[in-house]
Structure 1
């Protein structure tokens, strides 16, 4: 642990190379243009002031960007945590958000110092995909209401049930129909932008979509809701002593654990994906978890949104030709300059445009293309994915993730506990029952059914020599079955015979 912390604090991220500096500066501008609308959009969708999203983006650049772990991935507020943040703010209040994020950062620091970073890679991919799919579905459902200028219901089921009424209101109400048109137009730009020539696509699609929607709204004088702006310094609200006492609540601690699990898993899975995009230094997972912990601790102290490493911004950084960590630090500088010098520019952005950006982002979180092949090749994994996503939509984020993890463990235990039972007849009418594989309680019903179906008047020899694992439940059940048969002979390390003479 000490060696991890020492190397963590002695990191020098930048190279003295003019060519690399130029590429990093250009890449940082691209990342800044991608991050700007997403930071604002995630904050608004989370039910907090827009400036808090910018603060998290700034900390992700200036603080996390300068720390070791991953060279190219970029951190900031993520769509994957939007639903959880919204629920936390609604239940505990905005003041408690800083405490929750601060506790998340401290817990990540502890996990990173204890070298737990690598173990997050052991989380079932199906659970992570199901988690992201559930988040995406809830995000899409919620932002459809925002796009229509309506108040979104509290639960996922209520959002689904309210869709027919939302559509009817949008069609009959001119104001809501106008807002929907702006949102749908934003989504159309995002979808069509990928089909343009590569030179045109140098400008990030989210920036173009939001800028176009803002320009059209202003030029046409459309009367729709815009982002509310308070100012960067006014938005910073460090948690007070009264807020810290909320950590004594079991519900709040459960939310902290959910934040930690989801933020850490998303960051480290993002790191694995980013590593496949370049030939540079690989991610050190423990150091990256420490870096995320530092970032969330700072964000919590400022009362801002939680952060994760974000694949969209990270991919933009790699594709823009970044050479060192300087690019992600500079993107934080540009965000800071924008937030300080041009805060009023945020206030002209229509909420419907940001909702459109997040609807598009939410759809991308649902792994539609992977579901078919996953169902054909690994049906159990597909079921875990679907169950996790459905549970998140119908209950809550924390309960859905816990259910997914439990299902993944049960599925693995079921697949590992393969037991094969063969019965052979020897001369004199003696039966030999050979059991091979891993005999666990999950396979006990089938095992006992096979043994109980044997003829009662025949001597039986039970051969356990090929059993790789025999748990306590199976051993107890086999000994009980043998005792019911009559005489019992036990030869260590196996139960060898049972039968009536």
Structure 2
């Protein structure tokens, strides 16, 4: 039996994934405010390092649009040399978490929080890339990007260069949206690659005054962090950024793994090992001063649809990226920046679950509320705090729904009033419990039956004791409590 029985299918799939990944790697790097070559480096590491490790057999890793906003903020705040240290620390933390078998716990994170996080990222990404598509400088904050769009539109309308740049970006989006409808073999070519090639050809042929990718060279772009870089990132702010990188990259990778597992019938993902594989990849990316990586659903689904059968396909896609970066780096200088902005506008739009939100609102309005608040918080505040707000709301909603308590007042005519409590009595339901008890008449004896409670927290227990003591006075009939 041959050692690689599915080699032909895997080679074909690897070429498809390479063609999908190439423009995305470059686009994510440019949008993150780092040299374009660093996006290719992360894609190469995702193939050659993470691709070789156990975990998920068909999932493809590389730079992701979902981390663009966070990376841009980190580079803007701490500088490019510090990025490698942050990514390295995040990778080591992922390795530790995988070794401690914490990978499966990411599956316990509320899906509404994850989708809200991606929607918030998508909104900020779209807003920021609209400026890039017009060749304009974007405001620093997410809210500033969105609120500044009307003014940016007025500026673009008054500039011939901005209109030309915006036309290239708009054309890129249109090609990507419509390309999947093209019949025949041409439709099998990835839409992103087609859009970039067409935009490049049109720009060169017409001589449009459009900015292109700045090329530094692969070895010049790779700058491993030195001692000064490690010394410049000490502080609580950097620690928060590392935690944000770790949690978001891990959650996106493991949720992607769950989605990819539904697309094929091969071996299932081993979540703790996949988390360690992602950690190993990010550790190497950090050492090289490159972008952080996650598993990416677009590349992974393309890999499955192209007929990949084993991890050979994702490893080979890293080989093709390496060959391109080594042999054809000057080709990057021909790519128009607004074309890359168009690709990321399209990617950002796909991060916003509009159809899912409508269905969620009809069936689970609380979850839809969490999704929207998480997204808006990321836009208004920042990524890390927005996710924390979403998680806090999710926990509060779960606690509220879990603390269902039922009060029954039974009046048998003669004898005491009997108040029966059942369910889970927590501080969240305490106002309702006390309002019911205090509305009962004071001139009759009361019996408080707690035997139906599954859970009685300290706050409720203390409040009920105080209420019973307060109502058991010489002037009023006693309260009997049945624990």
Shared fold (TM-score greater than 0.5)?
Answer: yes
2:305 and 2:397 map into 1 onto residues whose CA distance is: 38
C-alpha spacing 1:444/1:231, structure 2 compared with 1 (3 Å):
same
Q: How big is the shift at 1:181?
A: 0.3
2:79 maps to 1:111: no
1:421 and 1:70 map into 2 onto residues whose CA distance is: 50
User: What is the aligned counterpart of 2:143 among 157, 162, 168?
Assistant: 157
Task: Provide the residue aligned with 1:17 in structure 2.
Answer: 4
User: What is the aligned counterpart of 2:427 among 431, 441, 454?
Assistant: 441
Work out whether residues 78 and 233 of structure 2, in 8 Å CA contact, stay in contact via their aligned partners in 1. Answer: no
Q: How big is the shift at 1:489?
A: 7.9
Q: How big is the shift at 1:198?
A: 5.6
Q: How big is the shift at 1:201?
A: 2.3
- Aligned to 2:414, the other structure's residue is in SS state helix
Is there any run of 5+ residues in structure 2 with no aligned partner, and where? none
Task: Provide the residue aligned with 2:401 in structure 1.
Answer: 415
User: What is the aligned counterpart of 2:410 among 424, 431, 437?
Assistant: 424
Work out whether residues 90 and 242 of structure 2, in 8 Å CA contact, stay in contact via their aligned partners in 1. Answer: yes
Q: Deviations along 1:332-382, whole A, 9 cap, x unmatched?
A: 000000001000000110000000000000000000010111011111110
Work out whether residues 15 and 324 of structure 1, in 8 Å CA contact, stay in contact via their aligned partners in 2. Answer: no
Task: Provide the residue aligned with 1:3 in structure 2.
Answer: none
Is there any run of 5+ residues in structure 1 with no aligned partner, and where? 1-13
Q: How big is the shift at 1:197?
A: 2.2
Task: Provide the residue aligned with 1:5 in structure 2.
Answer: none
Task: Provide the residue aligned with 1:226 in structure 2.
Answer: 212
Q: Deviations along 1:110-159, whole A, 9 cap, x unmatched?
A: 00000000111101000000000000000000000000000000111211
Figure out how many residues of one structure are paired with residues of the other and give that number: 480
Work out whether residues 47 and 316 of structure 2, in 8 Å CA contact, stay in contact via their aligned partners in 1. Answer: yes
Work out whether residues 60 and 314 of structure 2, in 8 Å CA contact, stay in contact via their aligned partners in 1. Answer: yes
2:78 and 2:2 map into 1 onto residues whose CA distance is: 45
Work out whether residues 210 and 349 of structure 1, in 8 Å CA contact, stay in contact via their aligned partners in 2. Answer: yes
2:406 and 2:278 map into 1 onto residues whose CA distance is: 47
1:196 and 1:410 map into 2 onto residues whose CA distance is: 48
Q: How big is the shift at 1:472?
A: 0.2
Equivalent runs, 1:111-190 vs 2, <5 Å:
111-190=97-176
2:275 maps to 1:280: no
Q: How big is the shift at 1:390?
A: 0.1
Work out whether residues 472 and 479 of structure 2, in 8 Å CA contact, stay in contact via their aligned partners in 1. Answer: no
1:490 and 1:281 map into 2 onto residues whose CA distance is: 63
Work out whether residues 445 and 478 of structure 2, in 8 Å CA contact, stay in contact via their aligned partners in 1. Answer: no
1:244 and 1:300 map into 2 onto residues whose CA distance is: 12
Q: Deviations along 1:48-67, whole A, 9 cap, x unmatched?
A: 00000000000000010000
- Aligned to 2:453, the other structure's residue is in SS state strand
Q: How big is the shift at 1:247?
A: 4.5
Moved more, 151-160 or 141-150: 151-160
Task: Provide the residue aligned with 1:96 in structure 2.
Answer: 82
Moved more, 173-182 or 151-160: 151-160
Equivalent runs, 1:338-349 vs 2, <5 Å:
338-349=324-335
1:490 and 1:398 map into 2 onto residues whose CA distance is: 50
Divergent runs of 4+, >4 A? 487-491
Q: How big is the shift at 1:429?
A: 4.9
Task: Provide the residue aligned with 2:221 in structure 1.
Answer: 235
CA RMSD between the two structures:
1.4
2:291 maps to 1:305: yes
- Aligned to 1:248, the other structure's residue is in SS state coil
User: What is the aligned counterpart of 1:359 among 324, 340, 345?
Assistant: 345
Equivalent runs, 1:64-103 vs 2, <5 Å:
64-103=50-89
- Aligned to 1:312, the other structure's residue is in SS state helix
Task: Provide the residue aligned with 1:262 in structure 2.
Answer: 248
- Aligned to 1:373, the other structure's residue is in SS state helix
Q: Deviations along 1:392-448, whole A, 9 cap, x unmatched?
A: 001100010010111110010001000111111023252111111100011111111
Q: Deviations along 1:81-128, whole A, 9 cap, x unmatched?
A: 000000000001001100000000000000000000011110100000
State TM-score, norm by structure 1: 0.94
C-alpha spacing 1:198/1:75, structure 2 compared with 1 (3 Å):
farther
